[in-house]
């Protein structure tokens, strides 16, 4: 039923290549839509480079020279409040496994990429926010009836993303009898699910809902039994002095209705309602 290990390895290698081939939309890019999203570039000194996801419909999605999604909308709003105009923003892809390093290396100035605030990550970077709270869930075939929550995972093949809290939680809490396939991005996991190579994909419910709406033709469904609390923060380099200003911008976005509108427009067509007990969240005190 499942493909041989060789096949999976070959696909993993291929997708890694694809990822690195189109992983950056930064300055110096080709003029014809190679992903450059800035007029001035960040070489001018007064622009800002923001890390987002490129393959998460409804959250962070690159479509040619266009960037859409809730994370992108919050990023634009916050950058604007910090004094950056649209043409001073450069978006750059920050895959889950690379986020801390990209902040530490100065590859990006801040990250809005379904980036959960965790104590481990706080050891090497700072967070502003949270600006949204999601929960880890499972994506399965629409006709699947035997996976109704994480307690049903024994003996199942799962896919998640390297460097995510989602993969981490499976390894620490549900390791028994679960076969975990790790890929660089969730879109690759959906491909594996659609091909029958895994029984489920696991990550945050809002990500899975967007992927199901974009990819499934109704063939995929989110189980709807969240088993974690994922607080989406704005990733910043350690000892950043921007946390307060970003939290003020997030609070303003929530108060003036733009946050709610961004949630609504970016989840339209997806079967998803944010947890109303947790959202909108109040940004935490800065360290
Ligand atoms: N929110 C989780 C995390 O930060 C999962 C989603 C992601 O990989 O971006 O790891």
pLDDT grade for 45, boundaries at 50, 70 and 90:
low
Pocket around ligand 1 at a 6 A CB cut-off: 96, 113-116, 161, 164-166, 203-204, 207, 230
- Are 136 and 227 contacting, i.e. CB atoms less than 8 angstroms apart? yes
| Chain segment 137-173, per-residue pLDDT in tens | 999 999 999 999 999 999 999 999 999 999 999 999 9
Give mean pLDDT, residues 71-76: 98
Measured from the Cα of 165, ligand 1's closest atom is 10
Give mean pLDDT, residues 60-82: 98
Measured from the Cα of 164, ligand 1's closest atom is 10
CA 114 / ligand 1 centre spacing (Å): 5
| Yes or no: domain 11-133+231-266 corresponds to CATH 3.30.565.60 | no
217 vs 124, higher pLDDT? 124
Cis-peptide into 151, omega within 30 deg = no
CA 66 / ligand 1 centre spacing (Å): 22
Locus of tokens 């990822």: 19
- Are 135 and 204 contacting, i.e. CB atoms less than 8 angstroms apart? yes
Does the fold of domain 134-222 match that of domain 11-133+231-266? yes
Paired tokens of 167 = 């993969």
CA distances from 128 to 40, 86, 107, 156, 241 (A): 26, 21, 18, 37, 10
| Chain segment 180-215, per-residue pLDDT in tens | 999 999 999 999 999 999 999 999 999 999 999 998
- Are 204 and 166 contacting, i.e. CB atoms less than 8 angstroms apart? yes
Give mean pLDDT, residues 111-120: 98
CA 165 / ligand 1 centre spacing (Å): 6
The CATH code of domain 134-222 reads 3.40.190.10
Paired tokens of 178 = 């679960």
- Are 35 and 22 contacting, i.e. CB atoms less than 8 angstroms apart? yes
pLDDT grade for 19, boundaries at 50, 70 and 90:
very low
Measured from the Cα of 56, ligand 1's closest atom is 9
Domain ranges of the chain: 11-133+231-266, 134-222
């Amino acid at each position: 039923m499942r493909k041989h290990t060789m096949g999976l390895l070959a696909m993993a290698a291929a997708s890694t290549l694809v990822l690195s081939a189109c992983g950056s939309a930064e300055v110096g890019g080709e003029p014809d839509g190679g992903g450059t999203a800035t007029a001035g570039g960040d070489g001018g000194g007064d622009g800002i480079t923001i890390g987002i996801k490129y393959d998460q419909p409804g959250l962070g999605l690159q479509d040619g020279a266009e960037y859409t999604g809730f994370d992108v909308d919050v990023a634009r709003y916050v950058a604007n409040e910090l004094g950056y105009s649209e043409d001073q923003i450069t978006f750059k892809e920050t895959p889950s496994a690379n986020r801390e390093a990209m902040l530490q290396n100065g590859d990006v100035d801040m990250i809005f990429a379904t980036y959960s605030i965790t104590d481990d990550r706080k050891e090497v970077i700072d967070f502003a926010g949270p600006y949204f709270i999601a929960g880890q869930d499972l994506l399965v075939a629409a006709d699947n009836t035997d996976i109704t929550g994480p307690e049903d995972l024994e003996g199942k093949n799962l896919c998640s993303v390297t460097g995510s809290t989602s993969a981490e939680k499976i390894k620490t809490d549900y390791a028994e009898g679960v076969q975990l396939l790790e890929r660089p991005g969730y879109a690759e996991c959906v491909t594996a699910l659609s091909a029958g190579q895994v029984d489920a994909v696991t990550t945050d419910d809002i990500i899975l809902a967007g992927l199901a709406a974009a990819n499934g033709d109704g063939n995929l469904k989110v189980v709807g039994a969240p088993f974690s609390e994922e607080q989406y923060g704005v990733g910043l380099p350690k000892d950043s002095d921007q946390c307060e200003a970003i939290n003020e911008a997030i609070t303003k976005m929530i108060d003036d209705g733009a946050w709610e509108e961004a949630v609504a427009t970016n989840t339209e067509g997806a079967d998803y309602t944010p947890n109303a007990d947790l959202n909108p969240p109040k940004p935490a005190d800065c360290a």
